[in-house]
Amino acid sequence: MSIATVSQILNSRGHFTHKTIEKVRQIAESLGYIPDKNAKQLRTGSSILITVILPNLTNPFFSALVQSMQEYLEKSHFDNIDLTFQTSSFLKIDETIDNLIQRGTDGLIITEPLPNPIRTNDLLKRHHIPYVVLDRNSDYNLTDSVSTNEFEGGKLAAKYFQSLGHQHVGIITPNYTSPSINARIDGFLSLWSANSTDRPQKFITDFTKDGGREISPYIAQSDITGVFSLNDDVAIGLIRGLADQGVSVPQDLSIIGFDNIEYASYTVPSLTTIAQPVPEMGSKAISILIERLNNEQSDQASEFNSVIFENELIIRDSTQKA
């Protein structure tokens, strides 16, 4: 079969038998071929398209992350780089990446856990698309990564509760846990032995403000004096829900969140939380990707970057001594 025949079939041109068409498409699929709509465009001197894949835009953490990347580009005068974002659920992320390849993206920053990291890596390498993963992904040593020390972040929350004398505490977890969330949980629980009678009580809910509000009756009925929420959104919803239950924060229950989103300092009471260095994370992720894109163009190879930032305890008004 000639190259011309294959090209015409893949570009839906010409007239061929159904058997020939199916044969070409099966081979293309087995090789992971995805047609590039921009392949005929000369890239020299043109703008570079970078896409950030996010789970949602409702959590201020992700909007702040994208904002930090945009600010980095502006301060660094990268006028030829277009930064876009694409939301995607965990179950559809493979499809999302396939579509972005077809639309001609030059580089990816992925903040969602990858269901098939090896498959994704092979696919993006085949299309010469560098990518950076953020802290929601496990470190498979396949590409550049930027993360925070999630385990120590969870441990910070546990240590602070213990320093305040809280012996009966809880932890709020989501229905689905990513690698970074699991690390936060493990860090928090690490200060209690597996057989301890005081081991933190788990509460499961959606990772949203509504989820925090919905779990509030169960927490109000428990005997805990402090609770660790694995993100600020849930903690903010919980504060509101507890107010509806007649539970006072922090007099009746102390709360620690995670992320230090902007709203955390405006809640009543203001939220004690574990802060992630979002501006630094966003700036570092996009700077690494730009460097990788430059190396791609010059055919220079370099070792993968694995950058890990530390978290910080921000003490506000939602916690007090037991």
The pLDDT value recorded for residue 40 is 36
Tokens 């398209």 -> residue: 49
**What is the average pLDDT value for the chain, to the nearest integer?**
88
Same fold, 48-149+279-309 and 150-276: yes
**CA 167 to each of CA 155, 163, 204: distance values in angstroms, whole numbers, following the listed order:** 15, 10, 20
- Measured on CA atoms in the order 175, 181, 182, 185, is the torsion positive or negative? negative
**Residue-level pLDDT at 176:** 82
* The 312-314 sheet, strands edge to edge: 201-204, 169-173, 226-229, 254-259, 272-275, 312-314
Block residue for tokens 């009756």? 217
Banded model confidence at residue 42, pLDDT cuts 50, 70, 90: very low
Question: CATH fold of 48-149+279-309, please?
Answer: Rossmann fold (3.40.50)
Q: What is the pLDDT of residues 74-83, one digit of tens each?
A: 999 898 899 9
The model's confidence at residue 26, banded by pLDDT at 50, 70 and 90, is: confident
User: Where along the chain do its domains lie?
Assistant: 1-33, 48-149+279-309, 150-276
**CA–CA gap between residue 92 and residue 103 (Å, rounded):** 17
The more confident residue out of 281 and 28 is: 281
255-308 pLDDT, tens digit per residue, is 999 999 999 999 999 999 999 999 999 999 999 999 999 886 555 567 889 999
Measure the CA–CA gap between 260 and 264, rounded to whole angstroms: 6
pLDDT digits (tens, 9 = 90+) for 92-140: 999 999 999 999 999 999 998 888 899 999 999 999 999 999 965 555 6
pLDDT in tens, 213-269: 999 999 999 999 999 999 999 999 999 999 999 999 999 999 999 999 999 999 999
Q: Which fold has domain 150-276?
A: Rossmann fold (3.40.50)
Q: Angle, to 10 degrees, between the axis of helix 179-189 and the axis of helix 150-163?
A: 30
| Alpha-carbon span 109 to 131, nearest angstrom | 6
Q: Reply yes or no: is the peptide bond before residue 250 cis, omega within 30 of 0.
A: yes
- Preceding peptide of 269 cis, ω within 30°: yes
Residue 112 confidence (pLDDT): 86
